Amino acid sequence: MSTSVDNEKRAPRLTAAESRARILLAARAAFTRAGYDAVGVREIAALAGVDPAMVPRLFGSKEALFTMIADEAFRLEPPFDGSIDGMGRRVAHHLMGPIARCDPDDFDEFTFLLRSVGSPTAAPILSVALHTTFIRPLSQRMDGPAAEARAALATAYVMGFAVLRAGLGSPSIEAAGQDVIIERLGDAIQACLTP
């Protein structure tokens, strides 16, 4: 005799690695869309299609999961490759490229940062991740005194410009013309990078 449970189709059981990958993907998208404070473990689990108990079992906590994602988010991008000489203009040229709009379900490092920077829990995590995986590695390629402080200033130029142009949309920047902005922004960034 069969029971209704026997007749129901059961989803295949996920391995820990599969559950972990699904949770990471879901958490990246959820934190990008809504920010740290607005996303709960149950929502992440539902998006991942796993039991909510799997999140703390595999990651320890929502905070630990967010930390892992932040630690992977802020790596030096291609415009920061190569010589420090001329890097300011390479980065400015990159920043003046087409503004990419991400799908709300995709992970976007910039949006991930902006959505959670106001959180008292997330902001220190983001700061540590940004300094550890972006600012410090950049400073280690620089010569002269106060390299880490100068790398942080260059990062502030990049982030501030990105917020103004891509986040808010600046008609003043667009009206100035690409060549003018690349020259001036590039020079400002380069002044931070070189002693």
Contacts of 141 (CB under 8 A, 6+ apart): 84
Domain range annotation of the chain: 4-69, 74-193
How far apart are alpha carbons 24 and 30 in whole angstroms? Answer: 10
Residue 102: what pLDDT? Answer: 63
**How much is the average pLDDT of 37-63?**
94
Q: 31 pLDDT band (50/70/90 cuts)?
A: very high
How far apart are alpha carbons 119 and 108 in whole angstroms? Answer: 18
Has residue 41 got a pLDDT over 50? yes
**How much is the average pLDDT of 159-171?**
85
Architecture of domain 74-193: Orthogonal Bundle (1.10)
Phi and psi torsions of 53, nearest 5°:
-65, -20
Q: Return the C-alpha torsion angle 32, 79, 99, 169, nearest 10.
A: 90
- In 103-117, which positions are buried (b, 16+ CB within 10 angstroms) versus exposed (e)? eeeebbbbbbbbbbe
Has residue 4 got a pLDDT over 50? no
In this structure, whether the domain defined by 4-69 belongs to CATH 1.10.10.60 is answered with yes
Q: 11 pLDDT band (50/70/90 cuts)?
A: low
More confident residue, 111 or 9: 111
For residue range 58-84, list pLDDT tens digits in order: 999 999 999 999 999 888 777 888 889
Contacts of 59 (CB under 8 A, 6+ apart): 20, 23, 65, 68
For residue range 71-129, list pLDDT tens digits in order: 998 887 778 888 899 999 999 998 887 777 666 667 778 888 888 999 999 999 999 99
Domains 4-69 and 74-193 share a fold: no
Write down the mean pLDDT value for the chain.
Answer: 87
Contact 57, 45 (CB under 8 A): no
Phi and psi torsions of 101, nearest 5°:
-100, 125
Q: 148 pLDDT band (50/70/90 cuts)?
A: very high
Contact 62, 172 (CB under 8 A): no
What percentage of the chain reaches a pLDDT higher than 70? 90
How far apart are alpha carbons 117 and 114 in whole angstroms? Answer: 5
| pTM of the predicted structure, to 2 decimals | 0.81
How far apart are alpha carbons 66 and 38 in whole angstroms? Answer: 13
Q: How many CB atoms lie within 10 A of CB 31?
A: 27
